[in-house]
Each structure stands twice: as structure tokens, then as C-alpha cells.
Homo-oligomer: A and B are copies of this chain.
Amino acid sequence: MLTKTKKPPRFTKKVPAKARRLPQFDSHEFVMTLRDEPSGLHAFIAIHNTNLGNSALGGTRFSTYSSEQAALQDVLSLSRAMSYKCALAQLPYGGAKGVIIARPKQNRHEILKAYARLVDKLGGLFKTGTDVGISDQDVKFMAGYTSHMLGVTPGDRGELTTSNTAALGVFQAMKACLRQLYGSPDFTGRSVAIKGAGKLGGELTRLVSEAGGSVIISDINTSRPRTVAKKYARVTVASNKDIHKQPVDIYAPCALGNEFTAKTVPQLRCKAIAGGANNQLENDNIGELLHKNNILYAPDYIANAGGLIYVADELEPDGFKRSRVLKRTHDIEGTIGAIFQQATERRMPTYKVADMIARTRIQDGIKNER
């Protein structure tokens, strides 16, 4: 009973019952439920924080969920990660995420149209693009109903795409790991295990192989890693369920989130982790456990920021510039190197150092504005 409270309740008491059970809930500025009755659209948009800029960026997922709470949990955790990602990549945007709940017998085009129209009504607060279940074609289609879709304006893109820029960023994170472990970023004689042989995993394999490293790769779809293995030198295939148990220098989860749990961490035989997946740690305790087990962890939202760097670049006043994207993506090595150094000096887990820097930058955003 709010009216009877005498002391101001602690923050944790104030969140809605539904969100209170979600550890990902982190004082999001806006958590929105969207509906359009004619099409049957039901979606969530979370705007985590816009202290760093007036627009909040994040892809939109179109996916089935086991429950509405699971969808809400996804959008909350992913939007927070986007805020942290922007803060660490020094991009002047807030973090956001959209989730459209997929249901049987929906008319996909009607759903996407209704979603795009509602995104448009937010007037640029939320800028979105591809994610799980949303293709480049979907984004192009939605761009017919809103000017706030990312990835549809032309520019000097060359060979760059979201996925291979993301892969390049992970490759830079791996270099930071090698430098920390061995004093040199040289891949010669080093081994990497990659979970996920999609666009990102494939490109990452190419980069590691061409740099002289060896790769063990897996995918839930067993034909994919075989195709990748045929294309590049020193690439072998493992089963998806055993890939994290490989005795390698670096393990790179490049598939879904929550890869590291109390169950999987004791099975790891890698020296370091640097991958493209979002939200790799099931929770903060897992970050502590990796630290205790002496496994060097390159924080996911820094390692995989290449995709965001690529996507956000078209918002620059001079439009998309390939050279700027490459520069910022290469900077990931230095950013992670600095975090490793701080973590060593302060004897802290790397995830914690990264989170602290992200929170401080977001907080400073407030201070600078006020």
C-alpha cells in the first residue's frame, strides 16, 4: 500500500511486480507495451537510458517466446546491454531493444507494418534494425512506414556488413586476450573454438585462419561448420554440445545468449573468452566464477560492438564512412586491453570493471546535461 508507506521505499521495492522478479530490470527510462488490434501486433520496446544521446538504438527481434515474461526479460536485458555497448564504444546514443512476439497465423507484413508505424510515432527516440527473426528485407519493408530504420541508407560500405564488422570487432577482442595472455597479439600457433557458424562465426573463422591461428567450429546446424572448414586452413569441426569444452586459447560463443552458467563454466578448458553473442553471462555470479577460475573474459558488449558501430554510423552528420567504422572497430582491442589492465591492477573481474565504466559514463551523461 503506497499511501501507507512511512519511509521512502527502497528502489527495489518500487518496480512493478512483474519486473521485480527480473534481475535484468535496471531502471529503464521507458518500458513500452505496443499493440495493434487489426494486425494482432504485440510487442515490447525498452529504452534503457538516453543520457548519452536523444536517440536510443537497438535491433528488433521477431521471435516466439515461452511466455510474455520471457519476452519482457529479453527486451530488458538486451536494451541495457545496448546502453553499455554505446557507452564503451563512445557512441552518443542510448540503448534500446524491440521484441515482437511471434504467434501462429500472423500476417507477417501486417505485423511489420503496424510495428513500423508505431516506431514512427516515437519520432526518433527509438531507432532500430535487424536482429533475430528480422532480415534486411524486413527492415527495408518497414522503412516504407518509418524513417527510423537503420541499415537502409546508402554509403561508402565496401565489403562491410553488420556481421563482418561484428566479427572484426571480436577478432580485435581476441587480440587483446592474446596480448594479455602471452604479451603478443600474434595468432600463430594459437587455437580458437567458435560456437556458431553463421555469418559472424564464418567471418571470424576466416580472420583467425588467415592470421595463422587454428579454429574448431560448431553449429546447431551441422552442415554449416563443415562448409566453413572446407574454405579455410587449420579449421576442424566439433559438436555443438562439446564446443565449449575444447582445450583452446580462446573460446568464442557466437550464437545465443546465456552461454555461461554454473553448469558450463566448470566444463571450460579455454584460457580466455571473446565472442559475438549478446548477454553471454547468465548473471553476475558467473562473471565472478570465471574470474575465480582464472579465465580471461572479454566483456561481450565490448567484444561484439562492431555490429552497433557499423549500424550507427549512418547517423553521423556526414553519413556512413567505411574508414570511421574500421577505426572504431579496431579500437575495441585497446578498450578491452585497458579493461584487462584495470582488472589486473584492482584484482577485479573484467565484467565488473566494464560495467562500472559503462555506468559511470551513463551517469556522467546526466551530470554533463544538468
Contact = CB atoms under 8 A, between A and B. Distances in A.
A213 to B, nearest CB: 39
A66 to B, nearest CB: 6
Given A31-B32, A123-B123, A1 B66 contact: yes
Contacts of A118: 29-30
A88 B7 CA distance: 45
A195 to B, nearest CB: 24
A2 B123 contact: no
B35 A33 contact: no
Contact of A2 (B9, B38, B103): B103
Given A3-B64, A68-B16, A122-B122, A37 B31 contact: no
A123 B121 CA distance: 9
Contacts of A1: 66-67
A248 interface: no
A84 to B, nearest CB: 15
A343 interface: no
A34 interface: yes
Contacts of A7: 104-105
Nearest to A64: B3
Given A27-B35, A124-B123, A125-B123, A105 B16 contact: no
A327 interface: no
A123 B120 CA distance: 11
Given A121-B50, A125-B121, A125-B122, A17 B106 contact: no
29 contacts: A1-B66, A1-B67, A2-B65, A2-B67, A2-B68, A2-B101, A3-B64, A5-B103, A7-B104, A7-B105, A8-B103, A8-B104, A8-B105, A8-B106, A11-B37, A11-B40, A14-B40, A14-B42, A15-B35, A16-B18, A16-B68, A17-B18, A27-B35, A27-B37, A29-B118, A30-B34, A30-B121, A32-B33, A50-B121
Given A2-B103, A3-B66, 19 more contacts: A1-B67, A2-B64, A2-B65, A2-B66, A2-B68, A7-B104, A8-B105, A9-B103, A16-B33, A17-B18, A29-B34, A29-B36, A30-B33, A30-B34, A30-B118, A47-B121, A122-B123, A122-B125, A123-B124
